[in-house]
Amino acid sequence: MRRWSLGAGRFAVTAVPALWLLLFFAVPFLIVLKISVSGMRLGMPPYEPLITWASSLVFELRVHLDHYAFLWQDPLYRNAWLNSLQVAAVSTLLCLLLGYPLAWGIARATPAWRNLLLLLIMLPFWTSFLLRVYAWLGILKNNGLINNTLLALGVIDRPIVMLQTDFAVYLGIVYSYLPFMVLPLYAAIEKLDQTLLEAAADLGCRPFRAFLAVTLPLTWGGIVAGSLLVFIPAVGEFVIPALLGGPDSLMIGRVLWEEFFNNRDWPVASAVAIAMLLLLVLPIVVFQHVQGRTPVVR
Amino acid sequence: MSNTRPEQRPEAGPDGTEPYVRLERLTKKFGEFVAVDDVTLNIRRGEIFCLLGASGCGKTTLLRMLAGFEQPTSGSIRIDGVDVTALPPYERPVNMMFQSYALFPHMTVEQNVAFGLRQDRVPRAAIRTRVAAMLELVRMREFARRKPHQLSGGQRQRVALARSLVKQPKLLLLDEPLAALDKKLRQHTQFELINIQETLGVTFVVVTHDQEEAMTLATRIGVMNHGEIIQVGTPTDIYEYPNSRFVADFIGSVNLFEGRLIEDEPDYVRVAAPELGGVFHVGHGVSAAPGATVWVALRPEKIQISRTAPDGAGDNRVAGVVSEIAYLGDQSVYLVRLATGRQVRVTQPNIVRQSSAGRLTWDEPVWLSWEPGSPVVVTQ
């Protein structure tokens, strides 16, 4: 009786997240997968059914792989994909370069300061992401805060074009995702035993080498976690390139949007989504595999 | 048994040269707090010098200044004739064994030990042989490929020792080297440490709060209190000739009596101690004015306890009543209450297996007596 209730309890605990994933991840994924292999048509819905009944016992299954072939042939998608990877990679690197010293500073601050600084890192989340990106519009535009200030001070005599450039996209992404980098880095650095750095110095290791030989490997977990938390959403980012980027800032999220809403080509858009998912999941799986091989560090 | 207080031995080497390590008027302040207060100290080549004191006495700060982790507020440190006061830790010919061992968790035992040599760009082959030899010395060779978390506490301690010795430092600093080990292992490791030190001839400075550890390890001990060094001497000096009430009380157990100097000769003094209800006749001279207040320190094991009055009459004897007895196997501890109400602690080795009939019991009247060479007079 007791065993049964224990088993049931365990089942209930795992069933809730499992059900959640099934309903809001697996099912939508399968729907998108299905649309991606359906033929396109004009009408509502804008795709053909996958299965058609010829008679009561005969049905036809028509799987269209041509959308995927189309993705492969049309350089637009490949370029968008590569461009997204590049933007995400560069942004991740920038976040890491900014976030590491930031996290280090917070972790080494006095406890009272530490809490305040952590609060400041999380403070932007009180405001909607969309609003914060819109706020950057106001700051960056030709008659925005920066240009007006510089004009008034006489530093420049005509506005610097910042909006609708790659610069604005990078700025927006780094600004938005920096906290996701800082928090795991902070957690890793805070755990790092300071006496290990003293031991390294004692054994003749200069500070920079000690950073490479001791600090970096021991905070590697935080670096990986932070980088994934920035990289993954940055690849599929739509709002930031759409609002801050120029018409030529081609990112996969934007292509997807246009395919769905401008071209109303749901099958191709779905194929883009599936391809993006696979191309994202693959490097992560490889990464996790590599991570799994390095022994656990206590 | 003439007991004159031995002269402080000269700390310079036998040839009269400068001492190996010289701390000169070293002071460290943290804000208003003075952690180390004007310490001048000489350490000889090849000795095991123990800094002994309660926690917060400044001994760890002193050690960290030697390692270079703390910059002295004033004063200087010279090692083997070179002023290292301003050198960062990575440029000092000094290595440290940390209390927590501070082994790099992401490296194997081998890599941990090799770390210091790699910083000095020692050739690979030389690193391999020196690491192997060092691991052999601490008997950890078969664990070379293990990570620290796969080792026991004692094994980690040996790896930490190997790592700090492999660079053949001029000075090895050990911060509570045995504190993390259990008692049996600690006693065993103490002698191992001494053996290794004798094999390699490296100068050790050990910080400890454990007086037994200090007594076993040290060639000389520096007793610290409130950032100052109170007394420096061999374990015997410190135990038998404490220079103050603090040292007498800190090392081992002691019966301290306040008294007044009533007779002051070059080779003996007599001290009237109201708490004793008698007079101490102490077989060494002191530098204090007659009539001055002094303290007499008498170790429990230096007191004889007997049922009958000792022969003759006079000083260095007192009658009392046994109030407490603790049988510890190798020795027995008696608390004897004097007529003045003062309790005196007496220990006697249990040389013969006592029958219960021969044993002293509670409330038995006894005589306590001691030799003139046993008590020590301290003036501060």
The answer to whether residues B173 and B95 touch, using CB atoms and an 8 Å cutoff, is: yes
Residue of B nearest to A218 (CA): B106
pLDDT at B274: 87
Measured between alpha carbons, how far is B352 from A146 in angstroms, rounded to an integer? 96
Diameter over CA atoms, chain B: 77
What CA–CA distances, in Å, run from A164 to A82, A84, B233, B350? 19, 16, 78, 94
Cβ–Cβ of B68/A201 closer than 8 Å? yes
Distance from CA of A118 to the nearest CA of B (A): 28
For B174-198, what is the mean pLDDT?
A: 85
Cβ–Cβ of A195/B100 closer than 8 Å? yes
pLDDT at B357: 58
The superfamily CATH assigns to domain B259-378 is Nucleic acid-binding proteins (2.40.50.140)
pLDDT at A297: 45
Whether residue A270 has pLDDT greater than 50: yes
| DSSP track, A101-128 | HHHHHHHHS-HHHHHHHHHHHHGGGGS-
Cβ–Cβ of A201/B119 closer than 8 Å? no
* Position A179 confidence tier, pLDDT thresholds 50, 70, 90: very high
Chain B contact set for A209 (CB, 8 A): 119
Cβ–Cβ of B115/A217 closer than 8 Å? no
Contacts 24+ apart (CB under 8 A), A103-112: A103/A181, A103/A182, A103/A183, A103/A185, A103/A186, A103/A188, A103/A189, A103/A222, A104/A185, A104/A189, A106/A182, A106/A186, A107/A186, A107/A189, A107/A190, A107/A192, A108/A189
Chain A contact set for B67 (CB, 8 A): 198, 202
Average pLDDT, chain B: 87
Cβ–Cβ of B88/A201 closer than 8 Å? yes
pLDDT at B353: 72
pLDDT at B180: 77
Choose the weakest-confidence range: A14-18, B168-172, B261-265: B261-265
> Which CATH fold would you assign to the domain B21-245?
Rossmann fold (3.40.50)
For B353-369, what is the mean pLDDT?
A: 79
* Position B30 confidence tier, pLDDT thresholds 50, 70, 90: very high
**Mutate which of A193, A195, A196, A203 to test chain B, going by most B C-beta atoms within 10 A?**
A203
**Mutate which of A191, A193, A202 to test chain B, going by most B C-beta atoms within 10 A?**
A202
* Position B4 confidence tier, pLDDT thresholds 50, 70, 90: very low
The answer to whether residues A65 and A275 touch, using CB atoms and an 8 Å cutoff, is: no
Q: Which has the closest alpha carbon to B131: B103, B112, B147, B148?
A: B112
Whether residue A298 has pLDDT greater than 60: no
Residue of A nearest to B96 (CA): A202
What CA–CA distances, in Å, run from B1 to A64, A267, B145? 111, 108, 59
Residue of B nearest to A193 (CA): B102
pLDDT at A296: 46
Choose the most confident range, by mean pLDDT, from A52-56, A214-218, B9-13: A214-218
Cβ–Cβ of A298/B149 closer than 8 Å? yes
For B112-133, what is the mean pLDDT?
A: 94
Cβ–Cβ of B115/A198 closer than 8 Å? no
Measured between alpha carbons, how far is B130 from A285 in angstroms, rounded to an integer? 42
Bridging pattern class, strands B33-43 and B21-30: antiparallel
Average pLDDT, chain A: 88
Q: How many CB pairs under 8 A join A and B?
A: 65
Whether residue A1 has pLDDT greater than 60: no
* Position B313 confidence tier, pLDDT thresholds 50, 70, 90: low
- Phi first, then psi, for residue A45 (nearest 5°) are -70, 160
3-state secondary structure at position B318 = strand
pLDDT at B27: 94
Cβ–Cβ of A205/B90 closer than 8 Å? yes
Cβ–Cβ of A199/B89 closer than 8 Å? no
Cβ–Cβ of B90/A298 closer than 8 Å? no
Measured between alpha carbons, how far is A79 from A70 in angstroms, rounded to an integer? 14
Cβ–Cβ of B90/A196 closer than 8 Å? no
pLDDT tens digit string along A126-176?
999 999 999 999 999 888 899 999 999 988 888 888 888 889 999 999 999
Residues 6+ apart with CB under 8 A from A73: none
Residue of B nearest to A207 (CA): B90
For B237-245, what is the mean pLDDT?
A: 90
Measured between alpha carbons, how far is B224 from A84 in angstroms, rounded to an integer? 65
Tokens of residue B275, six digits: 């708490």
Of A193, A204, A213, the CB nearest to B90: A204
Residue of B nearest to A195 (CA): B102
| Cβ–Cβ contact A212 with B under 8 A | no
Cβ–Cβ of B90/A195 closer than 8 Å? no
- Phi first, then psi, for residue A88 (nearest 5°) are -65, -40
pLDDT at B8: 42
Residue range(s) in chain B whose domain bears CATH number 3.40.50.300: 21-245
For A42-47, what is the mean pLDDT?
A: 81
In percent, the amount of chain B with pLDDT more than 70 equals 93
For residue B269, what are the β-bridge partners?
Answer: B264, B282
* Position B17 confidence tier, pLDDT thresholds 50, 70, 90: low
Chain B contact set for A204 (CB, 8 A): 90-91, 116, 119-120, 167
* Position A8 confidence tier, pLDDT thresholds 50, 70, 90: confident
Which residue did the predictor score with more confidence, B181 or B101? B101
Of A203, A205, A297, the CB nearest to B105: A297
Give the domains, in start order, of chain A with CATH numbers: 74-264 (1.10.3720.10)
pLDDT at B1: 34
* Position A52 confidence tier, pLDDT thresholds 50, 70, 90: confident
* Position A3 confidence tier, pLDDT thresholds 50, 70, 90: low
Whether residue B355 has pLDDT greater than 70: no
For A18-42, what is the mean pLDDT?
A: 90
For B348-371, what is the mean pLDDT?
A: 80
Chain B contact set for A200 (CB, 8 A): 104, 115
Distance from CA of A188 to the nearest CA of B (A): 14
Cβ–Cβ of A201/B89 closer than 8 Å? yes
pLDDT tens digit string along A185-231?
999 999 999 999 999 999 999 999 999 999 999 999 899 989 989 99
| Cβ–Cβ contact A218 with B under 8 A | yes
Residue range(s) in chain B whose domain bears CATH number 2.40.50.140: 259-378
